[in-house]
Amino acid sequence: MTDLGNSRPRCLSGMRPTGKLHLGNYVGALKNWVDLQHTHDCFFFIADWHALTTDYDDTSRLAGNTVEVMLDYLAVGLDPGKCTMFVQSHVKQHAELHLLFSMMTPLGWLERVPTYKEQQVNMPDKDLHMYGFLGYPLLMAADILIYRANFVPVGEDQDVHVELTREVARRFNSVFCKDRDTIKDPVLIEPQTLLTPSPRLLGMDKRKMSKSYGNSILISEEAPQLEQKIKNSVTDRPKLTDRGSPDRCPVGNLHQIFSSKDQLAYITEGCTQATIGCVECKALATTSVNAHLAPIRDRRYELAQHPERVKEVIQQGAKKAERVAEETMVAVREAVGLLGSASLPKPTLVEIGADLLLVPITKTNEPKEIWDIRVKQSGWLDKINRLHPLRFDRPATFITSRGRKVGVHTASENNGTWEFLMRDRPLNVLVLLAEDKDRYLHDYVLPPKILQYYWKDFERKGEQVVVRVARTEDGVSLSVAGKELPIQEYERNYAALE
């Protein structure tokens, strides 16, 4: 974790695991998500429970489709280092919040959601008179509210659900948070729809591009199939002498999205004046689309060869998402008036970092919570930890075999800064374990050079030396003698200490 502080507005969106995604999904959502991950604190998930609201009777492809969608997310450029991607059913808190909402949401609110009636009409061969189907917008409200998302990037069709989400948040705050100033300090916050600006993209038969119509081009379409689909596409000019418009033609739409300005101008002129043939136009479109999809296809292929990497992304994403969701749920349970589980015995292991664990020591009479630090990596810190278990509340000093004196100190975050207090005894190496607000533990190592040079400049508080670390835009810095020195998270590399 290098991205510590996160004051960027939060975005959340999800897709059902319908299988491999198509270009409609790409231009209507994914492309936009890829941009958002640079400017927003993004959570993108795969709504597998949502898939059950309409397809509970055949789940044979549910798990496989979930992986396919994750492969598409990654292939188009969503980066697990920049956004959090996860599978809905891995974060049980969504279900818990949905259940609590189901207690306080009037039935009429759900029956009035337009998609409730529409989908029943649109899918006549499906019996959708199911409790879960009716409650689906409420599950979506839980998905959004549990992350305190500010924005929900979705298409217009989902806007009514975001509206309902706001109503649910308002109702929750008014029913359960009577003693609280819910304007200044709401438990749940009302999200806004971030309408995705998406160019029109017709399916190959001129209807809306949709998987169920079989008129789509997949993001992962292989070159020969891509060519074939474009070749077979309906166009806007039944005869060569007819004038047409790229706006009304699936192939024209592809040019509008994937071709260069010049080429788009060329085919637009040719189409509207009937000076080019659709065959030529299609060939040009194929080249443009293929140029765009080839790198995506390659990345996807490469990833599909490494299922362990995808699994890792899914696991790490769930962990991150769960931490955020759980934080909201603690406040939610308290607001609802449930007995907090803090008064029950702690689970044996609380994971708070990629490589470092804080483990509560259970056999203690001390009133304050005591945490053991467990190190998952192999290496120096792991070795010393096995010999001399580290404790979060207690500094430790070690001498390495080469006679270097190493201090290990811990501190919790306070308003974006950490103060590590230590005795005024020079050290060769200082290991700083910084617990952040989300209970992540980050490890920083100050090497001998920095310590020797700056030791006397560190702030003094009485007898103690204060090493102050503060959040910055892209990491943390050490402030010493009025200067800010950038420091780096160690990321498993304790080679300097071996």
Q: By the criterion CB under 6 A, which residues form the site for ligand SF4?
A: 235-237, 244, 246, 249, 251-252, 267, 271, 276, 278, 281-282
Say which entry of ligand SF4, ligand TRP, none residue 50 contacts (CB below 5 to 8 A, set by partner kind). ligand TRP
In a 3-state reduction of DSSP, which class is residue 9?
coil
Between 50 and 255, CB nearer to ligand TRP: 50
Say which entry of ligand TRP, ligand SF4, none residue 300 contacts (CB below 5 to 8 A, set by partner kind). none
Between 42 and 293, CB nearer to ligand TRP: 42
Residue-level length of the chain: 498
* DSSP H helical ranges for 232-368: 250-258, 261-272, 278-304, 307-336
Binding site for ligand TRP (CB under 6 A): 12-16, 47, 50, 140, 143-144, 152, 154, 158
Between 118 and 269, CB nearer to ligand TRP: 118
Say which entry of ligand TRP, ligand SF4, none residue 267 contacts (CB below 5 to 8 A, set by partner kind). ligand SF4
- Nearest 10 degrees: CA dihedral of 324, 326, 328, 333? 180
What are the beta bridge partners of residue 152? 193
Q: How far is the CB of 146 from ligand TRP (least distance, A)?
A: 10
Between 246 and 317, CB nearer to ligand SF4: 246
- Degrees, nearest 5: CA angle 293-201-222: 25
Q: What are phi and psi of 433, to 5 degrees?
A: -105, 110
Between 15 and 257, CB nearer to ligand TRP: 15
For 29, the token pair is: 């959502």
- What is d(CA 143, CA 145) in angstroms, rounded to the nearest whole number? 6
In a 3-state reduction of DSSP, which class is residue 294?
helix
Q: How far is the CB of 255 from ligand SF4 (least distance, A)?
A: 7
Say which entry of ligand TRP, ligand SF4, none residue 177 contacts (CB below 5 to 8 A, set by partner kind). none
Q: How far is the CB of 404 from ligand TRP (least distance, A)?
A: 52
Between 278 and 430, CB nearer to ligand SF4: 278
Give the count of beta carbons closer than 10 Å to the beta carbon of residue 340: 10
* Residue 468 burial class via C-beta count within 10 angstroms: exposed 0-12, middle 13-18, buried 19 and up: middle
Between 158 and 256, CB nearer to ligand TRP: 158
Q: Are 95 and 49 in contact (CB under 8 A)?
A: yes
Say which entry of ligand TRP, ligand SF4, none residue 252 contacts (CB below 5 to 8 A, set by partner kind). ligand SF4
Q: How far is the CB of 278 from ligand SF4 (least distance, A)?
A: 3
Say which entry of ligand SF4, ligand TRP, none residue 165 contacts (CB below 5 to 8 A, set by partner kind). none
Taking the mean position of all CA atoms in its chain, how far away is CA 144?
Answer: 12
In a 3-state reduction of DSSP, which class is residue 227?
helix
Q: How far is the CB of 272 from ligand SF4 (least distance, A)?
A: 8
Please report which helix (H) or strand (E) contains residue 94, including its range.
Answer: helix 93-104
Say which entry of ligand TRP, ligand SF4, none residue 476 contacts (CB below 5 to 8 A, set by partner kind). none
Q: Are 107 and 31 in contact (CB under 8 A)?
A: no
What are the beta bridge partners of residue 84? 43
Between 238 and 340, CB nearer to ligand SF4: 238
Q: How far is the CB of 234 from ligand SF4 (least distance, A)?
A: 9
Q: How far is the CB of 47 from ligand TRP (least distance, A)?
A: 4
Say which entry of ligand SF4, ligand TRP, none residue 236 contacts (CB below 5 to 8 A, set by partner kind). ligand SF4
In Å, the largest CA–CA distance within the chain is: 92
11 Rama class: left (phi>0) / alpha (psi -120 to 50) / beta = beta
Q: How far is the CB of 154 from ligand TRP (least distance, A)?
A: 5
